[in-house]
Structure 1
Amino acid sequence: MRRSALAVACVFVLAPQLALANPYARASSLWAQAAATQTTTTTTTTTTTQETTTTQPAGDQWKPTSSKAPKSNELEETPQPEPAPEVKPEPTPEPAAPPPEPEKPKWTRHGFGIRGGISIIPTWAVRGYVQSMTNALCRGDSIPGGKFGAGLTRVEGCNFYIGGEYIYRFSKNFDIVPAVAYHRLKAPDGLWLDDSERDANGNPNLGAADYTQVNFSFVALQVDFIGRGTIVETPDFAFQLGGGGGLGLGIITGKGLWQTPLGSPAVGSTDGNPQATCNSIADYSDFTKCTPHWSPDPDNPGAPPPAQGSLALDQTGMNPGRFAKCTKDGCNEADLNVLGREKGINLPVIPIVNLLLTARFLIKDTFGINLTGGWNTGFYFGGSLQYFFGSR
């Protein structure tokens, strides 16, 4: 018992000295002291932090949580495989764009127009075959006639035409133009004498003339084909020159050609009594100087004269010479019928051949002023106002 107590006492007394004498024991003691200090500091910091940020009641702060603490190997992030580099497909080459088509010229394709102008009867074509004639040249009081150039009857107004047209612009420089128009084509009444009507001395046989009426007015149905070249062109204005032709039919609305014999001998009258006033072709311009009257027909010498009372002059006197009632510029048609008026040409329709030259001014390719001249059953000059519309 004493030995045991003595051994324990020696241990307690000598243990510190042994620890100081053994460096390894001293180091172990210091390491244990440092670890205890660190643990105490960590615990204190954690407790302070929980007290600062947690306001839970004291009874709840020691409740266990339902989740388990992760294992140490789960805290380490699992390395993700590196993504494979994206391989982009090679772009498919686009087909080459076709070359742009050349821009086509733009123009209004359709149009309407109103046309009008003056016409001249081509009596010049027969002037070489007659000694006296009338025509319509719009030249005032005196009109030349026949080979001798004698002045004849006055022209009261000019011949004219007026109508409508539709324009189809097949191209910018070529038009197809159907048209309907009324043409007044009339010559003043006159005494026409053939060139072959001469006496033995070569002088005009004045009594062989015919009182001649010419009226070939007609309604024309035609189609013209017109080509034009553009001389000046701006966005707002164009000037074109060209020409063309057309074909069609003319429906006669006038009386045509009528002739009444003047009667032989050639005399004049205002009261039914013969007067020796018709002595030259120049006298033909006044029908009171050279007045149509009845005379025996060489081809039918036995024909009786007109009955008394059938002529207008019969109402004012005896009218022994059987004269038609006339003024300076014309005679009564009923009297002419009694004296044997005959129709010389009976044509319900006539062919139309149109030859033309044209100049056109276009404003914004919408409004057109067209000037035209040429030949269409006589010479003519005129124009039209045009309006264009439709697709370009």
Structure 2
Amino acid sequence: MEKTNKITKEAIQKLESLLTDIVLNSLGTVSWSERVHAVEEDSGNFKIRFYSDGLNLSAKTGIEEFIRLHLTSQNISNFSVYFERKEKPAPSPSADKTNPQQQPQETHSHQAAPPKSADMRPPSGKRPITGVDRIIAVASGKGGVGKSTVSVNLALALHNQGYKVGILDADIYGPSVPTMLNVHQDPLVNENNKIIPPEAYGLKVMSFGFFAPEETAVIWRGPMIMKALQQFFWDVEWGKLDFLIIDLPPGTGDAQLTLVQSIPITGSVIVTTPQNVALLDAVKGIAMFRKTEVPILGVVENMSTFTCPSCGTETHIFGTGGADRVSEKFEVPLLGHIPLIPEIRESGDAGEPLTSKHNHNVRIRFAEIAEKVVKNAISLSK
């Protein structure tokens, strides 16, 4: 490749002649040139976009490493690699399903989709959020299980895969997403009196934390909570989003009820830790979503294991197998396990999520979880 600070689609396509056998064999029936579908420049940084149809996580990692190797050898570092499906999900669950060309197609081939069950039904009869294709609610039965950490890193994992993503911090009493994403500027209002969400790490971000001082205690009754959340749904200029991640407050109260009654939720993700107390509350969350006919996309077990930094011994501090038992008993997919490591806490406090760091093990864990969430969400439209 000619040494230059500018990256073009043609230059990336020409790398096909340098492909290793491993990368070449992972491409399947779609050639390298066909998969390189765009290179975009944004404020001096380049986004290299690939079609990911039929590629598993290992193949994507190999492709990204191959590109990074060849571009860095040319002293080019101002780029990111994004993977997105050529066949995008239908924007509405009411789309015509009699035409196979209009049906969304899942393309990650290394993991079978879970069987449809009674709690995987498309939502209906709610007022949609303009421009938002799919809404994912992240919930937990109790606080302190890392729900916001999962929400932020899941949103970034989806963004890393080429989706347009927003995150709504719906925790009125304890908003933490602005801190985790290091977003502290006040939102603006456009000429249509719509709130413009700030952006961080490629995500559109909205939180009650933007409107209340950190030292202020919010003491609101149910109707005030409902009104505030509904403003976040319909009075924010979200633009065009493939996914909106909603970080719910813990429990099964007014905020959760407002959510399920107001907007069409594609599905929910339940966050728990392995100990019995957290699992009992996670079960309540599952029961709530089933009762309100919100599909459950799966369960994430956070703080699953701890590895001693000195001796390398792995310890199940909070117990073991909890989320697996919940998954089996209630027939909901197990999305993944997240380890308990100081870096996750440190990165959240610093506003630098680990999923924003290339090749970090936590980024890989959340990439796997995001793929399952996408697969399960798409299965609802079929």
The TM tier, using the shorter chain, reads under 0.3
TM-score of the two chains, using structure 1 as the length reference: 0.17
Larger radius of gyration: 1
More helix by share: 2
Q: Which has the higher contact order (CA 8 A, sep 6+)?
A: 2
TM-score of the two chains, using structure 2 as the length reference: 0.18
